[in-house]
Structure 1
Amino acid sequence: MTRDPLRELLDAVLADDDGAAVGVEEMAARAFTSPTHFARVVRRRTGEPPATLRRRVLLERAAWLLRQGRSVTDVAWDSGFDSLEGFSRSFSRSFGIAPSRAGELAAHRLPAPSGIHFHAPAALWVDAEPTEASMDLTAVLVEHDLADTTALLDLAAEAPDASLRTAAVSGLTPAAFDDADLSPAVLLRTQVHTKEVWLAAIDGTDFPDLGTAEVAALRQRHDEVAPRWRSFVADTAQRGGWGDTVVDALCEPPQSFTLGGIVAHVLTHAAHRRALVRHSLDPRLEQGNGDPITWLETRP
């Protein structure tokens, strides 16, 4: 895997030198380039000169260490300052309070055009670019669930019929509203039918038929319900309606649920079913492990 070029620059700027002050020449040498070119590239990529970026991140680290109970003197030396007075002056100018009062800070981060910050205990935090939309976590989880269900239906379409009808996990009690049959075919049917049922409750339509557990039919039903489910989640998020309540007349007796609770409920049990199906059909996980972080990395 190739390294991120920005990370390469940051490593050159922020490498730990046991508290010693580091000049642009030394930073550039780490990056195997000239000081002039290095300073220009860092400033273009981060919005800060290398020395300013390094000093700010070290001050953020200093604030974090002070809030953990480290002494001002120790932190001053660790942060590359050659005098306690110089450290106190720089810290006070940056945070608005003396280092001895760092415990009063709500956070250790300082304003940064790059969004690059110290992240405890020994890492960096890079904010999303201001021009980019922030990640909508609910939308990501919903999209991952739909995509992973599609992948499992495709995997099931290639599996022998016997493996679709046999549960690989025994002795596991499913949720009260799930079928006791833990075969992949039935689990996938429940996965699809659950969204059909909740959308019917939200839309006020009739209870949908359970239908067949044949993979081809389930794939078609999933392709039909997925955009409806995605649209419901997007519309609810846009109008801030997660706290809205729906009275589910399909329950006996009718019950009330918040829209946020419905989505959280569906995602929780969907992840459990997907894990069971994947374990049944692909015990060696040759088709991936269904992890959202891996899925996000491979999205186009």
Structure 2
Amino acid sequence: MARSSHASEFHFSREVRRLTGESPAALRRRIMLERAAWRLQRGEPVSAVAAAEGWSSAEVFSRAFRRTFGRPPSEAAAVHFRLPAPNGLHFHPPQSLWLDSPRSTAPAPDVTALMIDHDLADTAHLLSRAVELTPQQWTAPIRPAQTVLDWDGPEPSVGAVLGAIVWTKQVWLATIAGEDFPARTSTSPDLVDADALAAFHDEIGKRWRTTIADHTAAGRLGDTVIDALCEPPESFPLYGIVAHVLTYSAHRRELTRAMLAEHGVDTGRGDPLDWMRGT
């Protein structure tokens, strides 16, 4: 490990201890003992666990187990396999590791806000790739019968699906703000190309993110909108509106990926995990 890090063994060990609070040997030993305790709790024999975890003998393993857990291996069922750790790194069954988040750092991001950001970023990415299409490909009805939601009408082309993603947010923003039902001129594929739609999406996306963030901060996501734009009027809780938009946007984004692939345009997977690793 030291060689792969281009460091001496002494320097590598010192840096690991500085960063994790444990020497490499101590960290490895603790993780192995955690895994051993878990295996014993599943009924595996002491001798088999000792051999599998690299101990020279069952006796040496038993002494180490008792010193660490305060009980012999035969009483493993009475212990929690996780041991105190200065770095929060633990064995996680069956063959993984688990890293606790530091309690001193900021809390994990709000999942709803994270998914809103991912939705906007992924839509922007798809629009940036759709720019590669010719005008004919942008409006080509490659899925003539494709309809996601009856009230939105057919979405047979890449431009129609991407337009619907932006259009949906525009409509719901009007509902929340109490504005008139918006014209569809800014999202219709017959009227705007990918560049123009991307610019409009940037504008709508900022409004959407800010609106939801403001209502969240004010504790208003539980409020209900009685939508007079519907025929007949319907009522929607704000949190339901957010869930609706995210659900159908995700569906349409995957439709767009498949349709762009038919035009020879690769867009990647759109996985939030990949996106978070890159942010």
The within-5 A match list for 1:1-300 is 12=1, 34-71=8-45, 74-80=48-54, 82-83=58-59, 85-90=62-67, 92-93=69-70, 98-102=75-79, 108-129=81-102, 130-131=104-105, 133-212=107-186, 213=188, 214-215=192-193, 216-238=195-217, 242-283=221-262, 284-299=264-279
Cα shift at 1:208: 1.9
Residue-pair matches, total: 267
Change (3 A) 1:110 1:88: closer
Cα shift at 1:137: 2.9
Mean CA deviation greater in 117-126 or 219-228: 117-126
Alignment partners' CA distance in 2, 1:100 and 1:87: 17
| TM-score, with length taken from structure 1 | 0.73
Change (3 A) 1:261 1:110: farther
SS in 2 for 1:177: helix
Q: Structure 1: where are the runs of 5+ without partners? A: 1-11, 13-27
Cα shift at 1:178: 2.9
Alignment partners' CA distance in 2, 1:193 and 1:37: 57
Measured against aligned partners, the alpha-carbon deviations of 1:10-40 in whole angstroms (never above 9, x if no partner) come to xx5xxxxxxxxxxxxxxx6887865532321
Q: Structure 2: where are the runs of 5+ without partners? A: none
Alignment partners' CA distance in 2, 1:237 and 1:74: 54
SS in 2 for 1:191: helix
Identity of aligned residues (%): 44
Alignment partners' CA distance in 1, 2:147 and 2:22: 57
* Amino acid paired to 2:93: A
SS in 2 for 1:208: coil
Change (3 A) 1:122 1:30: farther
SS in 1 for 2:171: helix
RMSD between superposed Cα atoms in Å: 3.2
Alignment partners' CA distance in 2, 1:286 and 1:139: 27
Measured against aligned partners, the alpha-carbon deviations of 1:179-218 in whole angstroms (never above 9, x if no partner) come to 2232112212211111111122222222222224112442
* Amino acid paired to 2:184: L
Cα shift at 1:67: 4.8
| TM-score, with length taken from structure 2 | 0.78
Change (3 A) 1:269 1:43: same
Alignment partners' CA distance in 2, 1:145 and 1:63: 42
